[in-house]
Structure 1
């Protein structure tokens, strides 16, 4: 009798264990079914986009039921092509690209719905360290700029003009070098000044190749420099996904704003394996110091208007772009409530 009782207890124990396992599996499957996969194409891999990587590493997207499939598409044209051809659901790229697409009269415009950075992210690097710096020192110099028509070059020219310098008359302007080769060209001896993103600018300072003398971000003012955007058709069908996506970004923006540069650097270090953590920290601190990271995802109309002023000054604004047609702040304003 005792033996039969023991066998029955073992049998029921096995049944209970099996039920618990099935329940766990069912729960896991349910959790996976609840998550929405969102394909994000970023224009480049940059410390400038620190909040995005924070949102992934801190699990802010997962908290909102989203699995992010992030890929780097290297360049505004490629990123926009990826979005328009349905190779991505969301693009992280300069807002000027949405204006270019809108000017072509598409029936499915690209809409900006969340801002990540709010200034230009480049710096003016001089080959020789001056005792003091004045923008007038650039007159008569050779300036190694960024690609024509891109936001870095437009913001750079806008800044120069604000300081009384005509980049096409007062200096020798070089802008026919591929983006990836600009640092190497300067390091090899081309140019007296160069416009560089981080961490290259700080790295050149460490190596004594050049010296940061000014910030184009500070000089050009607030801009929707890098924003999240999607096609209007995707937005209409997936409004709830974009709402939750934007909430995750806002959480990350608050994290970067309220935590030390060191904490942020250590968190995003896996995305920059070839860059020392102390250099990442320096870059984050520099961007925080000039308020390049947006503290919320709302793309305000004043910034949008400034963007068009920058594009117009560079001769790159195809036509005036309606803020209400190319910007949707519904998700960003909801996220900040």
Structure 2
């Protein structure tokens, strides 16, 4: 009888613990990403490997297709956090925002686009672009500015030496090239590799390799959100850092299998090769800290493209305290 009594007590206690734990509702975070790309693999790893969930966060991810639309979602409170090019925070600040957008965690540290040629070539040289039609990215966006930065380094004037097309909406650039527009196009993975496999084009160069380290894509939020939800931002950043470490210690094949649900229409082999490309050129940031040297390089590229409204200090629009705390304590 005594044994039965203790069994009942133990069972009741276990049930109470399970109910109590189950009653702790995960905190919802609305995240807007500028595009869906293998370039953001660490983010998808944080989702698929439950790093967000283990931090008590329920991250609702939506793709907003373009820097302008992503920033609109953030400014209109349609999203809590945005994953987008760091330059957007500078543009918003230049317009006199009363609630500035703060970069608090870096995800990628190089350009993520590749130069895709329509015609197959055995020996590519940048000179081959002269006189050709180049289907570029949105004016004022990091892909286009980094692209122009590289072209100038290669002795090509984007305004004189090529027929530069910038009038096509970000989401429609791949379809436009596939339908016959342009001799060259600037694309993210896995789209570049998909086109190569389908015979639509050939990857001939990497803008990421050529442009060097840049705080290309970061997680950002309104200053008021970070002030009110600092603990949430810290949990979020910790999950991202765990994902960054995970991808460093796992193979591209393992990473491809982990993020397959985010790219259900893409073959695993394409995902694997795309991830490997990014790993080889060190596109994935190894930690979420956005340092001042990278920030200044970003503004140098913006200035050379004629898109820098005014110099903005690292201290004003970058919060490194959260990322530094996460990396120090992990």
How far residue 16 of structure 1 moved from its aligned partner, in angstroms, is: 7.1
Q: Does 1:297 find its partner at 2:288?
A: yes
Query: Matched residues in 1 for 2:13 and 2:292: separation?
Result: 57
Residue in 2 aligned with 1:137? 128
Residue in 2 aligned with 1:312? 303
Residue in 2 aligned with 1:67? 58
How far residue 150 of structure 1 moved from its aligned partner, in angstroms, is: 1.4
Alignment of 1:39-118 (within 5 A): 39-118=30-109
Query: Matched residues in 2 for 1:243 and 1:16: separation?
Result: 36
Query: Matched residues in 2 for 1:227 and 1:12: separation?
Result: 54
Going from structure 1 to structure 2, the CA distance change for 1:191 and 1:65 (only over 3 Å counts) comes to same
Superposed CA RMSD in Å reads 1.9
Q: Does 1:172 find its partner at 2:172?
A: no
* Bigger shift: residues 35-44 or 251-260: 35-44
Going from structure 1 to structure 2, the CA distance change for 1:27 and 1:199 (only over 3 Å counts) comes to closer
* Bigger shift: residues 276-285 or 126-135: 126-135
How far residue 114 of structure 1 moved from its aligned partner, in angstroms, is: 0.5
Residue pair 2:65, 2:170 contacting (<8 A) in 1 also: no
Q: Does 1:24 find its partner at 2:18?
A: yes
Query: Matched residues in 1 for 2:108 and 2:88: separation?
Result: 15
Going from structure 1 to structure 2, the CA distance change for 1:267 and 1:171 (only over 3 Å counts) comes to same
Residue in 2 aligned with 1:150? 141
How far residue 67 of structure 1 moved from its aligned partner, in angstroms, is: 2.0
Residue in 2 aligned with 1:278? 269
How far residue 18 of structure 1 moved from its aligned partner, in angstroms, is: 5.6
Going from structure 1 to structure 2, the CA distance change for 1:184 and 1:20 (only over 3 Å counts) comes to closer
Q: Deviations over 1:44-98 (max 9, x none)?
A: 2211111011111112122222221222222211211111122221111110110
How far residue 9 of structure 1 moved from its aligned partner, in angstroms, is: 9.9
Residue in 2 aligned with 1:190? 181
Alignment of 1:239-258 (within 5 A): 239-258=230-249
How far residue 124 of structure 1 moved from its aligned partner, in angstroms, is: 0.6
Going from structure 1 to structure 2, the CA distance change for 1:16 and 1:299 (only over 3 Å counts) comes to closer
* Bigger shift: residues 67-76 or 268-277: 67-76
How far residue 26 of structure 1 moved from its aligned partner, in angstroms, is: 2.6
Structure 2's unaligned 5+ residue stretches are none
Residue in 2 aligned with 1:260? 251
SS at match of 1:336: helix
Largest Rg, 1 or 2: 1
How far residue 189 of structure 1 moved from its aligned partner, in angstroms, is: 2.4
How far residue 23 of structure 1 moved from its aligned partner, in angstroms, is: 4.4
Query: Matched residues in 2 for 1:19 and 1:246: separation?
Result: 35
* Bigger shift: residues 235-244 or 252-261: 235-244
SS at match of 2:185: strand
Structure 1's unaligned 5+ residue stretches are none
Q: Deviations over 1:99-157 (max 9, x none)?
A: 01110111210100100011111111111222212111111111111121111111111
Going from structure 1 to structure 2, the CA distance change for 1:152 and 1:89 (only over 3 Å counts) comes to same
SS at match of 2:259: helix
Query: Matched residues in 2 for 1:9 and 1:215: separation?
Result: 70
Going from structure 1 to structure 2, the CA distance change for 1:11 and 1:118 (only over 3 Å counts) comes to closer
Residue in 2 aligned with 1:325? 316
